[in-house]
Amino acid sequence: MSLPVILFVVVATATAVSAVGVVASRNVVRMAVWLLFTLIGVALIYFLLGAEFAGAAQLIVYVGGTLVLVVFGVMLTAHGPLRELRTRRAEWVIGGTLGAALFVLLAAVSLELGTKEPHTAPAPGTGQIGLTFLGVTETNPPGNLSGVPGDKPIARTRVAYLLPFEIVSVHLLVVLIGAAYLARAKRRVKP
């Protein structure tokens, strides 16, 4: 058992347990905390997979942003009786069965896929992700982030992600404005 395997087992177990915690806990605040652990666990998995930038983004955006939003939501809405809304046993059974069935099926499909060997090339760094956004696939030497080398023309893929990413960012802005509008305190008009 090498270190990555041990790390993976630990992190994966923690993540899975936290996810179960999210499902199982009745209290919204506790759910939020369990979700926090799950998200951190997923971020760690990213690190394990060599996707440091994605992991960092996961930590910053999810844990730092989304989860804070959720917690705010919980704080704004969670009054005594609402904090624990009871679910009927039959619904637990249905939900549980559905989840289990889904897991079984997905797991079966995953196992069928078999184990893919990872490619041997070093994991791409953050800079290369940025270049991917520009559609640049190959630089020489690889990993040289200082700029475009002089001796080799830049190869570009037909697909660059810069424009989609910009669109997503604008979308995010729009969504945030919309959310602020939706959630703004309305003065109730008393007749």
Minimum Å gap between C-beta 16 and other proteins is 5
If binding is defined by CB under 8 A, does position 156 make contact with other proteins?
no
Q: Which two tokens stand for residue 18?
A: 């936290």
Q: What are phi and psi of 137, to 5 degrees?
A: -100, -35
* Closer to other proteins by Cβ: residue 11 or 151: 11
Minimum Å gap between C-beta 15 and other proteins is 7
If binding is defined by CB under 8 A, does position 129 make contact with other proteins?
yes
If binding is defined by CB under 8 A, does position 105 make contact with other proteins?
yes
If binding is defined by CB under 8 A, does position 122 make contact with other proteins?
no
Minimum Å gap between C-beta 189 and other proteins is 13
Pairwise CA distance, residues 167 & 171, whole Å? 6
The number of residues in the chain equals 191
Pairwise CA distance, residues 36 & 129, whole Å? 26
**Binding test (CB under 8 A) with other proteins, winner from 10, 37, 80, 103:** 103
If binding is defined by CB under 8 A, does position 170 make contact with other proteins?
no
* Closer to other proteins by Cβ: residue 143 or 178: 178
Site for other proteins in 38-67 (CB under 8 A): 38-39, 42, 45-46, 48-51, 53-54, 57-58, 61-62, 65-66
Pairwise CA distance, residues 10 & 48, whole Å? 12
DSSP conformation letters of 108-146 = HHHHHH-PPPPPSSPPP-HHHHHHHHHTEEE-SSTT--S
